[in-house]
């Protein structure tokens, strides 16, 4: 399907600069653009490519001022990155979706199924589960007894959702995600450990996306909570009874220990860790590979392991990088002091 520049501009509330009739039928990165594709320029580091790209149309910010002549048609928008995301969402929505119930699959007693579903082969839906309208359940998914799935949610192959957990509407769970495995609860028992039964569940609210091979553990009692709009990357661990606040994002290989509470709009960098029972205020940023062991204030930016205020961290890091030089200066001063002392003692 081909779209003209003038139609794309209308959709994005943009302005065409060039040929409004030129058409595209695919998208491409700006450095790999070819005739008939649409690209975008959002990062100034990629500006050199706009002068050589063969893309027919390029989305740019309204403020972009070209330094050289261009061969492509521009569409100026408020935010090129956001506009491109909107186009990709539209493109994705036009793709065909599987429908129907494939065999072999298992649907237990008392299961409630919504309208226009897709249930892939070898999927298992346990007794008493509730599946909303337009849900897509891909092959080899396990949905335990009493699980609830909201409408328009997509569950990709290999996801496991344990008993009594709840997943909201318009969520996406990627392959290998495990929702509701036992929390890590043990009590010392002589020379070993006794398991504490984990009798709670996991509640995932609407519009949550959970990456591949991410684990969200069930609560010991009550619920582990993933609030509305949360985005979890691949390979993340969220422990029992943790709460991840609305619209918080977490990058790959990060982890949240038991009973920690993350506020709204927090940003957790890759390989970062949050100690159990902490409270992160709204808007907290924890940079990559940091380890947080204290509560935070609203909109705090924390860095390091243990993590502390980023401004203080940066000042400390300047000193840290100079340690070899400072050490040599200290040795030189020590040598001079010893020399002065020896000279004084001879007098």
Q: Mean pLDDT across the chain, nearest whole number?
A: 96
With b meaning 16 or more CB within 10 Å and e meaning fewer, what string describes 299-338?
A: ebbbbbeebbebeebeeeeeeeeeeeeeeeeeeeeeeeee
Mean per-residue pLDDT for 68-85? 96
CATH 3.50.50.60 fits 100-311, yes or no: no
Polymer length of the chain: 347
State yes or no: pLDDT of 343 exceeds 80: no
Tell me what pLDDT residue 288 has. Answer: 97
Other C-beta atoms lying within 10 Å of the C-beta of residue 217 = 26
State yes or no: pLDDT of 345 exceeds 90: no
Helix, strand, coil percentages in the chain from 3-state DSSP, rounded to 5: 20, 30, 50
C-alpha–C-alpha distance, residues 48 and 29, integer Å: 13
| 90: confidence class by pLDDT, cuts 50, 70, 90 | confident
The encoded tokens of residue 96 equal 């065909």
pLDDT greater at residue 334 or residue 254: 254
The encoded tokens of residue 1 equal 């399907």
Mean per-residue pLDDT for 100-117? 97
Residues facing 4 on adjacent strands:
23
Task: Classify residue 65 by burial, with Cβ atoms within 10 Å: 0-12, 13-18, 19+.
Answer: exposed
C-alpha–C-alpha distance, residues 125 and 66, integer Å: 56
Q: What is the pTM for the complete model shown?
A: 0.89
Tell me the angle at which helices 323-346 and 310-321 cross, rounded to the nearest 10 degrees: 50
- Which among 252, 281, 283 is positioned nearest to 269, based on CA atoms? 252
One DSSP character per residue, 72-137 reads SEEEEES-HHHHHHHHHHHHHHTS----EE-SS-EE-TT-EE-SS-EE-TT-EE-TT-EE-TT-EE
pLDDT tens for 223-276 read 999 999 999 999 999 999 999 999 999 999 999 999 999 999 999 999 999 999
Tell me what pLDDT residue 301 has. Answer: 98
pLDDT tens for 112-170 read 999 999 999 999 999 999 999 999 999 999 999 999 999 999 999 999 999 999 999 99
Q: What positions carry a catalytic annotation?
A: 240
Mean per-residue pLDDT for 75-89? 95
Q: What is the CATH number of domain 3-93?
A: 3.40.1390.10
| 341: confidence class by pLDDT, cuts 50, 70, 90 | confident
Mean per-residue pLDDT for 165-188? 97
3-state secondary structure 174-224: CCCCEEEECCCCEEEECCEEEECCCCCEEEECCCCEECCCCEEECCCCCEE
Other C-beta atoms lying within 10 Å of the C-beta of residue 247 = 16
Quick check: 39 and 55 in contact, CB under 8 A? Answer: yes
Residue % of the chain over a pLDDT of 70: 99
| 346: confidence class by pLDDT, cuts 50, 70, 90 | low
Mean per-residue pLDDT for 24-34? 95
State yes or no: pLDDT of 347 exceeds 80: no
Residue % of the chain over a pLDDT of 90: 89
């Amino acid at each position: 399907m081909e779209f003209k520049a003038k139609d794309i501009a209308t959709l994005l509330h943009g302005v065409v600069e060039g040929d409004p009739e030129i058409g595209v039928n695919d998208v491409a990165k700006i450095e790999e653009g070819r005739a008939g594709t649409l690209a975008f320029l959002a990062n100034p580091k990629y500006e050199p490519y706009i002068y050589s790209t063969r893309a027919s149309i390029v989305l740019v910010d309204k403020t972009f001022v070209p330094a050289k002549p261009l061969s492509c048609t521009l569409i100026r928008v408020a935010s090129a990155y956001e506009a491109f995301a909107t186009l990709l969402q539209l493109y994705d929505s036009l793709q065909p979706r599987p429908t129907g119930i494939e065999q072999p699959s298992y649907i237990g007693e008392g299961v409630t199924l919504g309208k226009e579903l897709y249930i892939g082969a070898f999927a298992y839906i346990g007794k008493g589960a509730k599946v909303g309208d337009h849900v897509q359940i891909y092959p080899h998914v396990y949905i335990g007894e009493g699980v609830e799935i909201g409408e328009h949610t997509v569950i990709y192959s290999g996801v496991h959702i344990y008993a009594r957990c709840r997943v909201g509407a318009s969520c996406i769970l990627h392959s290998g995600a495990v929702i509701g495995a036992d929390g890590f609860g043990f009590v010392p028992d002589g020379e070993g450990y006794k398991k504490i039964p984990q009798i709670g569940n996991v509640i995932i609210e609407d519009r949550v996306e959970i990456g591949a091979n991410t684990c969200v553990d069930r609560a010991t009692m009550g619920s582990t909570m993933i609030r509305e709009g949360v985005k979890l990357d691949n390979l993340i661990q969220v422990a029992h009874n943790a709460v991840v606040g609305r619209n918080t994002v977490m990058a790959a290989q990060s982890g949240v220990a038991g009973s920690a509470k993350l506020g709204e709009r927090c940003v957790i960098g890759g390989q970062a860790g949050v100690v159990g029972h902490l409270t992160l205020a709204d808007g907290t940023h924890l940079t990559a590979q940091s380890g947080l062991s204290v509560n935070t204030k609203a909109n705090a930016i924390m860095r390091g392991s243990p993590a502390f205020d980023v401004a203080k961290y940066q000042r400390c890091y300047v000193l840290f990088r100079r340690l070899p030089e400072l050490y040599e200066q200290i040795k030189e001063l020590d040598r001079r002091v010893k020399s002065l002392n020896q000279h004084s003692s001879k007098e």
